[in-house]
Structure 1
Amino acid sequence: MPPEWAPHQCTWISWPHNRDSWPGKFEPVEPVMARFVGVLSATELVRINVLDAAHEAHVRAHLEGVATAANVRFHHFPTNDAWCRDHGAIFVSRAGADAPLLALDFGFNAWGGKYPPFDRDNAIPPQMAEALGVPCRSIDMILEGGSIEVNGAGALMTTENCLLNPNRNPTMGRDGIEAALKANLGVNHVMWLGDGIVGDDTDGHIDDITRFVAEDTVVTMIEGDAGDENHAPLAENRERLDTLRLADGRPLNVVELSMPRPVCFNGDRLPASHANFYIGNQVVIVPVFNDPVDAPNLARLRDLFPGRDVVGIDCTDVVLGLGAFHCLTQQVPAA
């Protein structure tokens, strides 16, 4: 599996339409998505799953004058929800193969059966593969793309709270899960963190806490307020990062990002995190929350991505759906 910063042939998204995911606050979501597509489509192709022709016309109206039309393609692949990182195909490259790109169709059960129905989401990967003209392999394992991070050099990072949760693959165990990840994603070293952040209904996806930004470098979220409920799990993950080693024995370079102040809706804490950024070919799009730590976190990411524009887009409304830009995207590597 290539790292996210490797060249893409396109980025795939599923346009938001499920109002239950943004109860009472759906209207602000689509303009944010339009801005996201506008920024990304300026430099790479964006493929968008929509429900049907009427939904395509609706989305086109949101994108008119915002996105680069020549870099947008629509697919009438109906979904249950918008989280393409988790229900979309995961793509791996195969050097020397007749088909250098392979789509992996892992099972999807809506984060442990939390949000039925999810049949349409689970059917998306082979449709993506067919549209691209690449082979697709079905794998008897539940896996969401947001639960894994790869460095493109053999290492994969994930969390125990998610991948060892019995609501995903109760019969596999840690050894079985590691073996399946190595066999299907071409990695040779699995690195485990612990728990995710408060409000994350995915049982602790890695893409809200720690992200590879280079072969030996990660950014990780830190909560400095010892009284905040995110402080202890993030501190424990930070300690683990100091002990983890790459397969060749090298330690990780760890860059800390500060958690924003709590973002809440109707008294519920939402999983607001600057780590849920998306790395495009020429841009890094970062969720921001009108918070004092927005600017310093963006500055740190600019230092880490000197060849890309780092753009912050307010996700205060989007995160009510319990995700942000990384959750809403899936990259397709260049063949």
Structure 2
Amino acid sequence: MAFRMPAEWAPHESVWIGFPSSTDAWGEPLHRAQLQIAAFANAVLASGDGEAVHVIAGSAEAAMIAKDLVDSGVHVEQQQIGDIWLRDTGCIIVKDGDLRIARHFGFNGWGDRFDYPGDKSIGYDLAIAAGFDVTKADWILEGGSIDVDGDGLAATTVDCLLNPNRNPSLDKEAIESRLRDDLGIERLLWLGDGLANDHTDGHIDNLARFVGANHILIPQGAGSDDPNEAVFADARKRAEAFGCRVSLMPSVGRFLQDGEAVPASYMNFYIGNAAIVVPIYGVRSDDAAIAVLASLFPDRKVVGVMADAVLTGGGSFHCSSQQVPT
């Protein structure tokens, strides 16, 4: 059988979204992060087109809060989720025709940085509850570290996938082989560094995203004050040399929280069946980013949702979600 990871724009049966639940993990921004994740879930639901929305809360108290914040059609479930980043802790559903199975990869807290109860088991638990057969992979892979075009091409970063804090015994060729076997990835575009101060060691879903077969979207730096100006330029150069069609997205530019430049990115958008939800930050480039996505996906409604509080946890809407393809 030839199982392959579908592109995100392929039809979804449902989506799992993690809900901020722990004051210990989130601190003062917890309530605003809950409001923003609820707004994300509501935006996916409001678009319609048959995509069920499941919000996963980590406690009974958080589940009650979630039910108060989300629309009535959103399913709220209580699970031991750990933190909310289901893109990395959830299973990846792969397909061979109409057959679907869940790939459950190893997870080590982004290079042993964090260890929340539930992070290593939530992906398996959700997939089993949804009725999937689950196959476990014997290596570390976070879903946010790869992006696919559904046609056998994927992109990743050297910064993350070759970091020795994940799979120190695996070299480039071994990782490419495992991606081929586990996700049906036949060609791999290796970009270089990820965004500055990204504690995931450079996840691709903050840097570059496929928007069509062999068509990749990359930010354009906002000038010399942009901490990722060189990173974006290098990514574009590598993608073009690889033979990809490249479109450009505005950069958020230098975005400070508590005096530190943080990896705010429009690239952490979620592609649903009928809507694209893009994180915005209350800066002047927000509208331009929405316009770019609207031009690339004319069949979907593009919705900008504030994500500054979610960003304090280290990610955004794409990071918090994992889709289930039909």
CA gap of 1:221–1:19, structure 2 versus 1, over 3 A, is: farther
C-alpha distance in 2, partners of 1:87/1:283? 24
Q: Structure 2, unaligned stretches of length 5 or more?
A: none
Q: In the aligned structure 1, how far is the partner of 2:292 from the partner of 2:28? A: 35
Q: Does the 8 Å contact 2:266/2:278 carry over to 1? A: yes
Q: What is residue 50 of structure 1 aligned with on the other side? A: 57
Q: How does 1:63-74 map to 2 (within 5 A)?
A: 63=70, 67=71, 69-70=72-73, 72-74=74-76
TM-score scaled to structure 2, two decimals? Answer: 0.94
In the alignment, which residue of structure 1 is the partner of 2:303? 311
Quick one: distance in 1 between partners of 2:60 and 2:226?
Answer: 46
SS at match of 1:192: strand
- Mapped to 1, the partners of 2:150 and 2:87 lie a distance apart of 18
Q: For the residues of structure 2 that align with 1:256 and 1:46, how far apart are their CA atoms?
A: 30
- What CA deviation, in whole Å up to 9, does each residue of 1:224-279 have, x standing for no partner? 313433111221111111101xxxxxx32211112113221222211100111000
Shift of 1:199: 2.2
Matches within 5 A, 1:84-103: 84-95=86-97, 100-103=99-102
Where does residue 257 of structure 1 map in the other structure?
A: 249
Q: How far did residue 213 of structure 1 move?
A: 0.6
1:199-238 pair list within 5 angstroms: 199-238=197-236
| Match in the other structure for 1:124 | 122
Identity %: 37
Instruction: Decide whether the 8 Å contact of 1:52 with 1:78 is kept in 2.
Output: yes
The CA distance in 2 between the partners of 1:102 and 1:75, in whole Å, is 22
**C-alpha distance in 2, partners of 1:22/1:274?**
22
Which residue of the partner structure matches residue 115 of structure 1? 114
User: How far does residue 208 in structure 1 lie from its aligned partner after superposition?
Assistant: 0.4
Q: Supply the distance in 2 between the matched residues of 1:231 and 1:39 (Cα, whole angstroms).
A: 31
The 1-side partners of 2:294 and 2:97 are apart by 32
Query: How far did 1:17 drift?
Result: 1.3
1:29 is aligned, of 30, 33, 53, to 33
Q: Deviations over 1:103-156 (max 9, x none)?
A: 11101111001012x341110122112111110001011111100000000111
Cα separation, partners in 2 of 1:79 and 1:47, compared to 1, 3 Å? same
Superposed displacement of residue 23, structure 1: 3.4
Code of the aligned partner of 1:232: A
Q: Which amino acid aligns with 2:276?
A: V
- Kept in 2: contact 1:263–1:316 (CA 8 A): no
Segments of 4+ moved more than 6 angstroms: none
2:82 is matched with 80
Segment of structure 1 superposing worse, 182-191 or 252-261: 252-261
**C-alpha displacement at 1:39, in angstroms?**
1.0
Residue type matched to 2:10 in 1? A
Task: Please list, as runs of the form range in 1=range in 2, the aligned pairs for 1:165-180 lying within 5 A after superposition.
Answer: 165-180=163-178
Asked if structure 1 preserves the Cα contact closer than 8 Å seen for 2:17 and 2:41, the reply is no
Residues 181-200 of structure 1: CA deviation (Å, up to 9, x unaligned) = 00000121111000011121
Tell me the TM-score normalized by structure 1. Answer: 0.92
Q: What is the rounded CA distance, in whole Å, between the counterparts of 1:301 and 1:228 in structure 2?
A: 21
AA aligned to 1:62 is: L
SS state at 2:308 partner: coil
* CA distance 1:228–1:39, shift in 2 (3 Å): closer
Cα deviations by residue, 1:8-50 (Å, 9 ceiling, x for unpaired)? 0001012111334433222211111111111111222111222
Corresponding position of 2:292: 300
1:267 is aligned, of 259, 278, 281, to 259
- 8 A contact 2:226–2:253 mirrored in 1: no
Q: Give the drift of 1:52.
A: 4.2
Aligned to 2:156: 158
Deviation larger for 79-88 or 216-225: 216-225
Distance in 2, Cα, partners of 1:274 & 1:55: 27
Letter in 1 for 2:105: F
Whether the 8 Å CA contact 1:199–1:322 is kept in 2: the answer is no
CA RMSD of superposed structures (Å): 1.4
